[in-house]
Amino acid sequence: MIDFYYWPTPNGWKVAIMLEECGLEYRMIPVNIGKGDQFKSEFLAISPNNRMPAILDRDVDGDPVPVFESGAILFYLAEKTGRFMPATPLGRKQALEWLFWQVGNQGPMAGQLSHFVNYAPDDQPYSKQRYAREYDRCLGVLERQLSDRPYILGADYSVADMIAWPWVLIAKPLGQSLDAFPRVAAWRQAIKERPAVQRAVDLGKDLRRNAPPSDEERKVLFNQDAATVKGLSEG
């Protein structure tokens, strides 16, 4: 059994997809980020960066194994199951390159764009434009990579696709058309049709935000620093 600490966001979907694709037994444990659950000491013991997703793998010999950060979790689960990761050294190198690309480029750029589209004051055009262009650039990187192959690493669906897909799924809400990226659009649709992916995206859908955050939620979500995180974790 794997404890899956989760809130329905693109980052959470990455791991949910891997768990579903591998058919692993897990239980979803909601961590309400608007209420500050991510700063509780029991969660910080698993995810010291107080971010989701995170897992606690109980299906091991000895003590349960905590894993935090989406790229590390997908790599860990690929190693654990022997699935969705190339077997050759060169293939593994390429998979790691795209995992790092996603967590270092596409994910942060898309996440910041989402913030300025959905939560920031409207009088910050530079910030919104900055991240919109970076998100567009990342789509261009994907379009080029997919120019001669159906999936990021080639003929086979892999962890590289699982980690990059969620932030492309929500391109339209981020204000980005895929008309200029036909290969990305086809890749997005092909993955969207996978039953495991559909189950993952539906996971916890009743928890999704249906209204803007309250003032109290905004304080928890957007105004943390070292001092406040320390105080919350001890509270």
Cα(41)–Cα(95) distance, integer angstroms = 33
Q: What pLDDT sits at residue 230?
A: 63
Residue 83 vs residues 156, 161, 217: alpha-carbon distances, Å? 11, 13, 39
Q: What pLDDT sits at residue 70?
A: 95
Q: What pLDDT sits at residue 233?
A: 46
Q: What pLDDT sits at residue 206?
A: 83
pLDDT tops 90 at residue 182: yes
Q: What pLDDT sits at residue 228?
A: 63
Residue 109 Ramachandran class (φ > 0 left, ψ -120 to 50 alpha, else beta):
alpha
The pLDDT of 44-67, averaged and rounded, is 94
The pLDDT of 142-162, averaged and rounded, is 97
- Percent of the chain scoring above 70 in pLDDT: 96
Task: Give domain limits for the chain.
Answer: 2-82+199-234, 89-194
93-129 pLDDT per residue, tens: 999 999 999 999 999 999 999 988 888 888 888 989 9
The pLDDT of 184-191, averaged and rounded, is 98
Are 171 and 181 within 8 A, CB to CB? no
Which segments within the chain are labelled E, that is strand?
Answer: 2-6, 26-30, 54-57, 65-68
- What does pLDDT average to over the chain? 91
Enter the tokens of residue 100: 């790092």
Residue 134 vs residues 2, 71, 110, 174: alpha-carbon distances, Å? 35, 20, 8, 12
The CA-based dihedral angle spanning residues 154, 160, 165, 168, taken in that order and rounded to the nearest 10 degrees? -80
Tell how far CA 115 is from the center of its chain: 15
Q: CB atoms < 10 A from the CB of 118, how many? A: 12
Its CATH architecture, for the domain 89-194, is Up-down Bundle (1.20)
Q: Is the bond into 48 cis (omega within 30 degrees of 0)?
A: no
Cα(30)–Cα(204) distance, integer angstroms = 8
Q: What pLDDT sits at residue 200?
A: 97
DSSP 174: G
Strands in 65-68's sheet, in edge-to-edge order, are: 26-30, 2-6, 54-57, 65-68
Are 149 and 123 within 8 A, CB to CB? no
- Output 163 or 232, whichever has higher pLDDT: 163
Beta-carbon contacts of 173 under 8 Å, excluding residues fewer than 6 positions away, are 117
Q: Tell the CATH superfamily of the 2-82+199-234 domain.
A: Glutaredoxin (3.40.30.10)
